[in-house]
A and B are shown apart, each in its own frame.
Chain A
Amino acid sequence: MRLWLKFSRRDSLSFISHLDAHRAYYRLFRRAGLPLAYSQGFNPHPVLSLASPLPLGFISRADYLDVELSQDMDLVEISDRIRSSSGGDALRLLDGTAIEGRVKALAGMLSFARYSIELAGDEVRATQACQAFSAAEVALFTKQTKSRVLQLDAKELVRELTCHENVINAVLSLGESRVFRPDELLAVMADVAGCRLDSRSITREELYIGDNTLHTPLEWAKLERG
């Protein structure tokens, strides 16, 4: 059976790589006695993938796992077992759903991510930087990918930008070759506003599917079921 599970992850689990996070989840499932399905082929591996990598040091309230078990189980039972095997509260299961029918890999469907960025400076600076960015016509920046250097307009990659006290709330593109990270946003905003912006902490709050209307993966799955 296939599942989409939503976890939160913080503390020590914020400081590990994408690969290490996968291993942490494999081991969680084995402790919980939940049988992962294995891929076919010469080098079989568990069918489990984290929908979107979490940059080192970020807190996540939206770690989505797209995972397949080798047998059908009750969802409540699954979540009970996961909760009692998580080992502390740095990793917590928040929600989840079974996925039926032909659905693409979640990783390939994501379009946007919502972040909250707590700034180390004062509120005034945060507000000014948001206003300056919103007022700007374009906000060009260069991004180095594995193969080439891209020249992009940050304005096109930001769907929402608000500010409350010293916390910036931003919905940023996650689309293929258009991934915009919150630390990149801060750099661009600092550039536009002509001030320094340092973050105290960055939290990924949610991931979305869709271009016009955004849905969280679990909302999307519910709509899909009809």
Chain B
Amino acid sequence: MIPAEISALLTKVYKPSRYAGGEVNMVMKPPAPGLLRVALAFPDVYEVGMSHLGLKILYKVINEQSDFAAERVFAPWPDMGDLMRDAGLQLYGLETYTPLCQFDVVGFTLQYELSYTNILYMLDLAGIPMRASQRSESDPLIIAGGPCAFNVEPMADYFDCVALGEGEEVILELLACLKANQGAGRAEKLAALSQIEGLYVPSLYEASYNDDGSFARITGKGPLPIEKRLIKELGDSHIPIDPVVPYIDVVHDRVMLEAFRGCTRGCRFCQAGMIYRPVRETPPEVLLSAAQRAIASTGYEEVALTSLSTMDYSAIGELLPVLVESLSCQGVNVSLPSLRVDSFSVQMAAEVVKMRKSGLTLAPEAGSQRLRDVINKQVTAQDLLTALQGARQLGFKSAKLYFMIGLPTETYDDLAELVQLVEQAARILPVTVSTSSFVPKSHTPFQWEPQFSIYELEQRQSYLKSAFRRNRQVKYNYHEAGVSFFEAVFSKGDRRLGAVIEEAYRRGCKFDGWSEYFDYTKWQDAFMSAGIDPTYYANRRIPQESPLPWDHLSAGLDKGFLKREWQLALLGRPTLDCSMDLCSACGVCPGLTVMPHTVRRRQA
């Protein structure tokens, strides 16, 4: 039953189901002595958080243990947040409506830099002190994990403990360690956690800076560096076959089957491709059987084969037709979230969208061959055009094309080629072109690179805008450059940014990833009042010999590999995919004693 003080608010808010819980497959474990309770907190609205595969996996592995219980909590949309404050209602877990402050652990997903203020917002609504140093023995342990954990430094002051890499094993080790140390004090527990591989306890370390303000080093009482965790072989136990099924439409509302983890195509801007190495495929028979069980437990009408690049799955050609066939008699569709720019992918896509040939999405990423060589995106203009021609023949009505602008070394010649390529594409099918601005990310070959200034990015956007204006076959969208700027600031930030995030939150920043809430001026003011220049982080080239604020957070990558890749980028030379070709010695496999694992050898 929903408690009366909550249901009284639900009739007053937009989409009350976000806060009601009680969905199909929800796991409800009432509090019991000895039960360790974790709130899995996603710092965005319900519909985004409920679409996140990592959350479903953690929910499953924790709840499978009789000693542990996991609940979910999402960032209340401001309408609900305000009402909760007025009513004095604290943020609660959706399973048992228990206030967050009564949990043993609250674990945040760090998926996006611009959700950092939402973490403070959620802690605030929960009545939990934001800074780790202010928390007392009775407060829950606040932990975090996800891609942004690899440079969690801007948020280091707010977390007691951070998990690097894939979380399903280390979360159980963390909980077991807490259980074994139940009587111990907070400091003692944290010291014990810091000894577990993959766990980072920021308070055990200190950052120092040079006189010129540049980052000098991290020193501390815990192990250095902290190595990421990963699952060496993917199998049935990693697939959440009975995920919670939301009642309202969420972003990805379907069964998600992870075809593989990791992607070693080696795009040089892509952090996910770098931090989740090597490639590990799930066997096709596991996927087929999981699909059936997941449909029986959820009733979903769609199954997605997910990964960073599903078309690269080595057995896709056999798996897909069988999967489609086995599900179609139940009225269930298959979807492929990521397509490669080639005709094979388009054919496969046509196979699965028989019934609703809507549109096709392809990401050539850069407009000129020169720039695609720089980023190691091994796709030619001809590949794209052939793929689109195939798509038209198969009945697709339109295509979406994704490009990045502001990539390292980009000039207006490259943009002119982009325009040319789009015009050629638009003669085949009507296209919607979306550009995002390049954000240099930690743990990539471009981590030393500056981002173009906001002004320069906007100039390039207007160049494209006017180039496409007269072409009625082309629609052009672009991401706001100010948003990309702050993404760059935080993805390459250091601990000094922690104060700015709190200041921004105090000034009212939250839901910064949502254009209706992103407030550039408030962020600028927050940086001003903290006396920090954000352009220092986003727009400066870092010398390669300088220590980096995230050097101690290891994704297993050899820094020499990243430097080599950077040099190859400037030469426009390719690096091949190690799941199809030779090892490019990134350092991950020997360092973490793992191997690329595919069903069969992948074909280039």
Partners in one complex: yes
Task: Specify which chain B residues have a CB less than 8 angstroms from the CB of A57 in the assembled complex.
Answer: 7, 10-11, 16
Could you tell me if A20 and B17 are in contact, using CB atoms closer than 8 angstroms? yes
**How far is B357's CA from A104's CA once the two chains are assembled, in angstroms?**
34
A-facing residues in B1-37 (Cβ within 8 Å)? 1-2, 7, 10-11, 16-17, 20-26
**How far is B20's CA from A36's CA once the two chains are assembled, in angstroms?**
29
B-facing residues in A176-214 (Cβ within 8 Å)? none
Closest A residue, CB atoms, query B253:
A23
**How far is B20's CA from A13's CA once the two chains are assembled, in angstroms?**
9
Contact of B331 among A36, A56, A88 (CB under 8 A): A36
Given contacts A11-B20, A15-B20, A38-B331, contact A20 B299 (CB under 8 A): no
Max count, chain B CB within 10 A of own CB: residue among A11, A16, A38, A87: A87
Task: Specify which chain B residues have a CB less than 8 angstroms from the CB of A27 in the assembled complex.
Answer: 24, 245, 298-301
**How far is B295's CA from A11's CA once the two chains are assembled, in angstroms?**
24
B224 at interface by CB-CB < 8 Å:
no
Could you tell me if B23 and A12 are in contact, using CB atoms closer than 8 angstroms? yes
A7 at interface by CB-CB < 8 Å:
no
Given contacts A27-B245, A57-B10, contact A87 B331 (CB under 8 A): no
Given contacts A26-B299, A57-B16, contact A11 B331 (CB under 8 A): no
**How far is B300's CA from A20's CA once the two chains are assembled, in angstroms?**
13
Contact of B2 among A12, A16, A17, A30 (CB under 8 A): A12
A-facing residues in B42-100 (Cβ within 8 Å)? none
**How far is B7's CA from A90's CA once the two chains are assembled, in angstroms?**
14
Could you tell me if A13 and B245 are in contact, using CB atoms closer than 8 angstroms? no
B-facing residues in A1-57 (Cβ within 8 Å)? 11-13, 15-17, 20, 23-24, 26-31, 33, 35-36, 38, 46, 56-57
B180 at interface by CB-CB < 8 Å:
no
> How many of B's residues come within 8 Å of A, CB to CB?
28
Task: Specify which chain A residues have a CB less than 8 angstroms from the CB of B296 in the assembled complex.
Answer: 31, 33
Counted as pairs of residues, one from A and one from B, with CB atoms less than 8 Å apart, the total is: 71
Q: Give 1 or 0 for each of B442-480: 1 = CB within 8 Å of chain A CB.
A: 000000000000000000000000000000000000000
Closest A residue, CB atoms, query B356:
A43
B248 at interface by CB-CB < 8 Å:
yes
Closest A residue, CB atoms, query B332:
A30
**How far is B296's CA from A114's CA once the two chains are assembled, in angstroms?**
36
B247 at interface by CB-CB < 8 Å:
yes
Could you tell me if B247 and A12 are in contact, using CB atoms closer than 8 angstroms? yes
Closest B residue, CB atoms, query A15:
B16
B249 at interface by CB-CB < 8 Å:
yes
Could you tell me if B298 and A31 are in contact, using CB atoms closer than 8 angstroms? yes
**How far is B339's CA from A92's CA once the two chains are assembled, in angstroms?**
42
Given contacts A20-B249, A87-B25, A88-B24, contact A15 B299 (CB under 8 A): no
Contact of A88 among B22, B295, B298, B330 (CB under 8 A): B22
**How far is B247's CA from A27's CA once the two chains are assembled, in angstroms?**
10
**How far is B22's CA from A57's CA once the two chains are assembled, in angstroms?**
14
Contact of A26 among B16, B26, B248, B301 (CB under 8 A): B301
Could you tell me if B17 and A16 are in contact, using CB atoms closer than 8 angstroms? yes
**How far is B297's CA from A57's CA once the two chains are assembled, in angstroms?**
27
Closest B residue, CB atoms, query A33:
B296
**How far is B2's CA from A57's CA once the two chains are assembled, in angstroms?**
12
Task: Specify which chain A residues have a CB less than 8 angstroms from the CB of B21 in the assembled complex.
Answer: 12
B-facing residues in A55-82 (Cβ within 8 Å)? 56-57
Q: Give 1 or 0 for each of B286-313: 1 = CB within 8 Å of chain A CB.
A: 0000000001111111000000000000
**How far is B298's CA from A33's CA once the two chains are assembled, in angstroms?**
11
B594 to chain A, nearest CB (A): 37
**How far is B11's CA from A85's CA once the two chains are assembled, in angstroms?**
28
A156 to chain B, nearest CB (A): 28
Seen from chain B, the residues whose Cβ lies within 8 Å of a Cβ on chain A are 1-2, 7, 10-11, 16-17, 20-26, 245, 247-249, 295-301, 330-332
Having A24-B24, A27-B299, A30-B330, one finds 11 other A-B pairs with CB under 8 Å, namely: A11-B20, A12-B23, A12-B247, A16-B17, A27-B298, A28-B299, A29-B299, A30-B300, A30-B301, A31-B298, A38-B331
State the 5 A-B residue pairs at the shortest beta-carbon distance, nearest first: A27-B299, A12-B22, A87-B24, A30-B299, A31-B299
30 chain-A/chain-B pairs, Cβ below 8 angstroms = A11-B1, A11-B20, A11-B22, A12-B2, A12-B21, A13-B247, A15-B10, A15-B16, A16-B17, A16-B247, A23-B247, A23-B249, A26-B299, A27-B298, A27-B299, A27-B301, A28-B299, A29-B299, A31-B24, A31-B296, A31-B297, A31-B299, A33-B296, A36-B331, A38-B331, A46-B331, A56-B11, A56-B16, A57-B11, A87-B23
